[in-house]
Chains A and B, each alone.
Chain A
Amino acid sequence: MKQNVIEFRNVSKLFGNVAAVIDNNLAVEAGEFLSILGPSGCGKTTSLRMMAGFEQPTSGEVYIRGENVTGVPAFRRPVNMVFQHYALFPHLSVQDNVSYGLRQRRPRPATADVAKAVDEALSMVRLDGYGSRRTYELSGGQQQRVALARALINRPAVLLLDEPLAALDRKLRRDMQVELQNLQRNVGITFLLVTHDQEEALSMSDRVCVMREGRLVQVGTPRELYDKPVNRYVAEFVGKSNFFKAGEAGKVTSVRPELIDVAKSKKALPDGLVTSTEAKVLNRIFLGEQTEYRVASESLGEFAVVTPRKAEREAGAFDIGDRIAVGWRAEAARLLPDE
């Protein structure tokens, strides 16, 4: 088993009467890219802040590299953070921002060594020659990279990223996702990302923790979460899914829209389907690489179906009001607790 760089042992955090984090046993493995995923108010940011040392747990312990750091303030913890709005020091140049962590060390490192480390860090985030700039002269993406360099130059045990891409526009966000992944592989530092964006979590991470109302719901690889969600909440939050009434009380049947077969008539459906029914097309959303249909059947009610472009080429697209046949294989349906 891999060593844990950060470990929560039964950590809870209360703000007044409100529990932000409840009995949490989160563990970050050395060298991995881990994401904490959840909606706002699920306790993911509070968890991150307890790792950084900005908040202390109400009960339980925090371990970093096997050492109990509960109660240790932020400036004595070997982790660094990239803040949501970067928090670059406006009165300092880019290089003074980046070297800030090194300059706090006692004894002070030699000026030449600091300068060399700054150059390396800036080159790592592709900002060579930007050292003497002012931070407010830079674009959002560049500021983001300065924030990364400022944290990574210290070679932290874990790099904590608090929704770092939220402030960037969509195109830039995609680029930064790839860049973050590459950076993590190159520097070999453990990354812990907090996000509410499931696509971001799934595409970048080795493992994802899904949180809900202060508790860990499921931890696993993106594929595990998508294919084997433990309950309705995870299935709903990670990707999209349809939920149908199940025979058992307290359970639902979850079927991913892209796992549903569609055809013009029941006869045209492939063999080996456990469920098949006729349905009417209520709505059609063209998404480019795929098309999403909203359909309704008498036995199942309303649900969503996604067909890839390729299938359309063979069977043609459907129009609103068309009567079609839908069905799925046994392995497409998952019986999940309805919670």
Chain B
Amino acid sequence: MRIFIAFIYVFLYAPIALIVGLSFNSGRQAFVWQGFSTEWYGKAFSNPLITEALMTSLMIALSTAFLSAIFGTLLALGLERLKGWLRVLFDILIYTSIMVPGIVIGIATLIAFVSFFDLVNPVLEAAIGWRLQMGAWAVIAAHVLFNIAVVALLVRARLQGMDRSLVEASEDLYATPAGTFVQVVLPLLAPAILAGFLLAFTFSFEDFIIAYFVAGPDVTLPIYVFSSIRRGVTPEINAVGTVVLLSSLLLLIAAQWVLRRGDRTAD
């Protein structure tokens, strides 16, 4: 039994460990160990194609995280006041947008945007001589679509765990509804919002499938990695992969930590 479990873990993590290990390879070939070196990290981060893709990915992930945190929180607050079948409907929609596979979101967003463009572009072109097209902003739109749901679920869990009498206590102590929101509700929701921000950032940063459909001419880091793999895996790609892996892992741990800490102060 133990050997079996160990085998599963090896199966799961060996390829990842291999990539991390080989990223420190000094040789030109990706899969032949020739000695320890960090030169590929330097090369990767001085490659303009990689840095540009990295900046695009960072911009998309940050925008997604910001927009999702704001709209997700608003959604959770709004849902709190909703009752009856409308609430059930929105609950279903939230869970659906998380469960729908990325490829479906990708295709759906692509089709939606293309038909929208076909509709407005002739008008726009005639009016201002400029047309809408796919790009980083379309990726952001598609990412925000499901990350709103992620943030909303986190924030709502926290809202439901929140003691209603705290809001009443604040009102009883002369705070206006807006004052109560800023001084009591928002600080208590902050851990959930921050955790949602970090998760949305991670999901957006590492997404390949959706971005591949709607990024248009823009290149994100995962798209760059995918396209360069077709020309063969280099230690450079391993280095990029390792950096992405570690930063995603760190962000996920940070999100967990923020949530745990928040739970402690809420009691």
Contacts and interface: CB of A to CB of B under 8 A. Distances in A.
Interface of A: 52-54, 73-76, 79-81, 83-85, 87-91, 100-101, 104-105, 136, 150-151, 154
A89 B171 CA distance: 12
Given A91-B187, A91-B265, A83 B168 contact: yes
Nearest to A101: B173
A99 B107 CA distance: 55
Nearest to A52: B172
Contact of B169 (A53, A76, A87): A87
A100 B170 contact: yes
Contacts of B47: none
A87 B188 CA distance: 13
Nearest to A76: B174
B171 A74 contact: yes
Given A90-B188, A90-B265, A75 B172 contact: yes
Interface in B128-175: 163, 165-166, 168-175
B266 interface: yes
Contacts of B174: 75-76, 101, 104-105, 154
B165 A87 contact: yes
Contact of B163 (A54, A75, A76, A87): A87
Interface residues of B, number: 22
A54 B176 contact: no
A81 B187 contact: no
Contacts of A100: 170, 173, 175, 183
Contacts of A151: 173
A73 B175 CA distance: 11
B267 A136 contact: yes
Contact of B172 (A80, A88, A89): A80
* Top 8 closest pairs, chain A to chain B, by CB: A101-B173, A87-B169, A87-B165, A104-B174, A74-B171, A91-B187, A75-B171, A100-B173
B183 to A, nearest CB: 8
A151 B169 CA distance: 10
B173 A54 contact: no
Nearest to B190: A91
A76 to B, nearest CB: 8
Q: Give the residue among B165, B175, B188 with the most A Cβ atoms within 10 A.
A: B165
25 contacts: A52-B172, A53-B171, A54-B171, A54-B172, A73-B171, A74-B172, A75-B171, A75-B172, A75-B174, A75-B175, A75-B179, A80-B173, A84-B165, A87-B169, A89-B169, A89-B184, A90-B266, A91-B184, A91-B265, A100-B170, A100-B173, A104-B174, A104-B179, A150-B173, A151-B173
A74 B184 contact: no
Interface string B169-210: 111111111011001100110000000000000000000000
Contacts of B183: 100
Contacts of B177: 75
Q: Give the residue among B174, B180, B187 with the most A Cβ atoms within 10 A.
A: B174
Contact of A81 (B169, B176, B184): B169
Contact of A90 (B170, B172, B176, B267): B267
Contact of B173 (A53, A136, A154): A154
Given A75-B176, A87-B163, A136 B265 contact: yes
